[in-house]
Amino acid sequence: MSGEHQHHRHHVTEEKRIGTAFLLNLGFALVELVGGFFVGSVAILSDAVHDLGDSVSLGLAWFLQKISRKGRDSRFTYGYRRFSLLSALVNAIVLVSGSVLVLTKAIPKLFSPDAPNVPGMFVLALLGVSVNAFAAFRLWKGSSMNARIAAWHLLEDVLGWTAVLVVSIVLAFRPWYILDPLLSVAVSVFILWNVIKNLRSVLEIFLQGTPEDVTLKDVERTLTDIPNVLSVHDLHVWSLDGERTVLTAHLVVPRDSSREDVSAVKSAARRALSSKGIDHATLEMERRGDPCEMGNNLDCMEN
């Protein structure tokens, strides 16, 4: 099976996972709205609004994941894979904003907690944990940055509803109403911590930073270990979408290298880079003493 075909199947699977999560989240948000009105719980109604926001984010993730399967064209020469990354960025920002909003509502409640409707909390919490846990499990198996950020959306809901479930059980026996806002604060802080880490990774990819699992010195050493490669310069490595790694480099070979020698170096370099997870390598070959045509680039001047 070709690499491109495998990538296509992978993206279709990711799209289905996100689509399932979106439909489950949207359906439960509507149930939550009705249930919140029925039990007269402001906390549940607030969470319903939050879940509707999650549904919008997941819907965007689903839509952009589908677009990301398109091949390259004259406008997007690397293809549309980064569209899924755009969704991850938007979702992370929405999730951070939602967590901050929950904190602004929950912290004041620590000083004046309300008495909730315990039976209604318990029933909706059971449903909430079940639906969101299934959707989160579907997305947790995904490898794309888009799926991981969306999974954190759902994990936030799972933890939130688990907290509601625990609180409803405790409140059935003890009037410790402060537990509700206290657990809300704990869950929001936990989610914020993890989403901010993922947001940082997304921003580094957008800014074309070197992937964390790649060391430029190691890549340079791998290339210079290839017979007939004298030196490497103008080396750049970045991630296209958090999954596919791209590299460009200039390789300097001996002055008397034949066309066959140069071709052999290119083939060996691509094999070596592929073994390190670098999917797409653009290699500029230069014979020693030739100008590298990079203007005043210091890397060129060293050779």
**Strand order, beta sheet including 278-287:** 231-239, 245-253, 278-287
Q: How much is the pTM?
A: 0.63
Residue with tokens 């590298």: 292
Angle, CA of 126, 128 and 130, to the nearest 5°: 70
Report the C-alpha gap between 122 and 125 in whole angstroms. Answer: 5
Query: Per-residue pLDDT for 49 more than 70?
Result: no
pLDDT digits (tens, 9 = 90+) for 257-269: 899 999 999 999 9
pLDDT digits (tens, 9 = 90+) for 107-156: 887 887 777 677 877 888 888 888 878 877 777 665 566 666 667 767 77
For the chain, domains (ranges, CATH) are 3-206 (1.20.1510.10), 216-301 (3.30.70.1350)
